[in-house]
């Protein structure tokens, strides 16, 4: 079974600074999807960024980028120029690819990120 580990339960950073959230995972598969989801306080969880394991290029979405190290099974999220609205729980998640027969998300325990004004 796949496992996802987030070793930083809580982090805080000053507004406008850069912060990196760590995530490692364990799988014997070669192709899979990795995600970072954001859960703001009392609001819906939303997708931040997605990475397909067969793509070597790291995914980027505006201020959010990942450092995907497939051999090390590491998938960290970097938030640049952090904003107050980035305050949230961040979950790393793993999924087998479609049509694999087990396309369910496995979540890490989350990192509570606080952006300090």
Binding site for other proteins (CB under 8 A): 33, 35, 37, 42-47, 50, 89, 91, 95, 97-99, 103-110, 112
12 in Cβ contact with 31 (< 8 Å): no
Of residues 16 and 45, the one with the C-beta less far from other proteins: 45
Of residues 18 and 31, the one with the C-beta less far from other proteins: 31
CA distance 10 to 23: 13
Q: What CA–CA distances, in Å, run from 33 to 19, 36, 60, 61, 108?
A: 23, 10, 15, 16, 14
Least gap, CB of 108 to other proteins (angstroms): 6
Least gap, CB of 9 to other proteins (angstroms): 8
Of residues 52 and 81, the one with the C-beta less far from other proteins: 52
CA distance 26 to 69: 12
Least gap, CB of 16 to other proteins (angstroms): 26
């Amino acid at each position: 079974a796949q496992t996802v580990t987030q070793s930083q339960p809580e982090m805080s950073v000053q507004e406008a600074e850069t912060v990196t959230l760590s995530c490692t995972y364990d799988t014997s598969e070669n192709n899979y999807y990795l995600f970072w989801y954001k859960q703001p306080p009392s609001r819906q969880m939303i997708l931040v960024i997605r990475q397909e394991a067969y793509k070597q290029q790291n995914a980027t979405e505006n201020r959010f980028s990942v450092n995907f190290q497939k051999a090390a099974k590491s998938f960290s999220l970097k938030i640049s120029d952090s904003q107050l609205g980035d305050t949230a729980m961040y979950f790393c998640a793993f999924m087998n690819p479609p049509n694999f027969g087990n396309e369910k998300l496995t979540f890490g325990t989350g990192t509570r990120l606080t952006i300090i004004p």
